Amino acid sequence: MSAVLAQKESLSRTVFSDGSYADHFRPDAQDNPFRNLYAAKRRDLLRFADSRPGSRVLDLGGGPGRIAVPLARSHTVTLADISDEMLTRAARAAEESGVPAKDLSLVRVDAREPLPFPSGSFDSVIAADLLVHLPDPTAALREMCRVLAPNGQLLVDTTNRNPLWMLRHPSYVGRRPQRWLSAWRAGGVLPEWTGIVTHHSRAQFHRMLEDAGLRIVEERAYGSPLAPKWMLAVCAARVPETASPRERDPLPGSR
C-alpha cells in the first residue's frame, strides 16, 4: 500500500475512479507480499483466455493492462475500467508493447452499472481483482453473463474471506495488534478499505455465480491449500437440461 493511502483512516469509493487506486495497485512490485501469487494468477488467466485464438475479449476492470495488452497480440480486446488514470497507463503499456490500436479498445466503464455492450458481444470476459470492489457483485456477474457469446467463457476471481491466509503474509497487515484484529474480523480486509471492499467465502462465491446464471467449469486457488488468498473460476452460462451434450459442455479442452 502506498504511504499516502496508509495514512488515511478510511477510504471512499472514489479511490477507484479518481486515480488514487492506480498508485495502490502494484501487483508486480518487489515489496508486494502477494507478488508471486499475482504472477501465477496472471499466467493462468492468459492461458485460459489464449485457448481460443482470435477471440473477442472483454477485460472488465482491467486496470493498467496487465492482462489485456498481451492478449491483444492475438485477440481483439476491450479493456474497460472506471479510472481514466488506469486507461492512460494501459494505453502507454500497449504503445510500449507495440500492440496495434485496432486490437485494443480502451473504454471508461463503471462495472456497478449495466455494461454498455450488446448481448453476446464477447467470446471471453475477464474480471480479475474486481468483484471485491463491487457493492452488488451478483448483478455485475449477470451483466458479464449477458455480454458473453454462446459457448463463451467467464474468468472471474475473488479474495477469500477466510483470514487464515493473512498468517502467511504478515507484512500485508503490519505489526499493530489492533490492525490485525480489525482485518481478521473483516475477513482479511484492511481497516482503511472496510466499507468499499468485501471478501467472499468459497460458498458465497459459488452462490453468486449460480445466482448469475453461471456454472463453474474449472477452478484454481492461489496460496495455501487450506486457506488460499484468491479463488479463480472458469465459468460458462448455464444451459437448459434439454440442450445437447455439446451445448452443455461448451469449453472442451479447458480442464
The β-bridge partners of 58 are 78, 125
Tens of pLDDT, residues 172-223: 999 999 999 999 999 999 999 999 999 999 999 999 999 999 999 999 999 9
Of 36-40, 48-52, 141-145, the least confident: 48-52
- CA pair distance 255, 251, nearest whole angstrom: 8
Q: pTM surpassing 0.75?
A: yes
The label of the residue with cell 463503471 reads 110
If DSSP codes are grouped into helix, strand and coil, which group holds residue 221? strand
Tens of pLDDT, residues 80-112: 999 999 999 999 999 999 998 899 999 999 999
Report residue 17's pLDDT band, with 50, 70 and 90 as the boundaries: very high
Domains (range + CATH), the chain: 3-158+203-239 (3.40.50.150)
pLDDT of residue 240: 55
Say whether pLDDT at 249 is over 60.
no
Cα–Cα distances in angstroms (integers) from residue 136 to residues 1, 67, 111, 113, 132, in the given order: 25, 24, 10, 10, 9
Say whether pLDDT at 59 is over 60.
yes
Tens of pLDDT, residues 4-16: 344 446 899 999 9
Cα–Cα distances in angstroms (integers) from residue 169 to residues 1, 173, 215, 242, in the given order: 14, 8, 31, 47
pLDDT of residue 80: 98
Residue 163 in contact with residue 183, Cβ under 8 Å?
yes
Please give the span between the terminal C-alpha atoms of the chain, in angstroms, as a whole number. 35
pLDDT of residue 4: 38
- CA pair distance 91, 55, nearest whole angstrom: 20
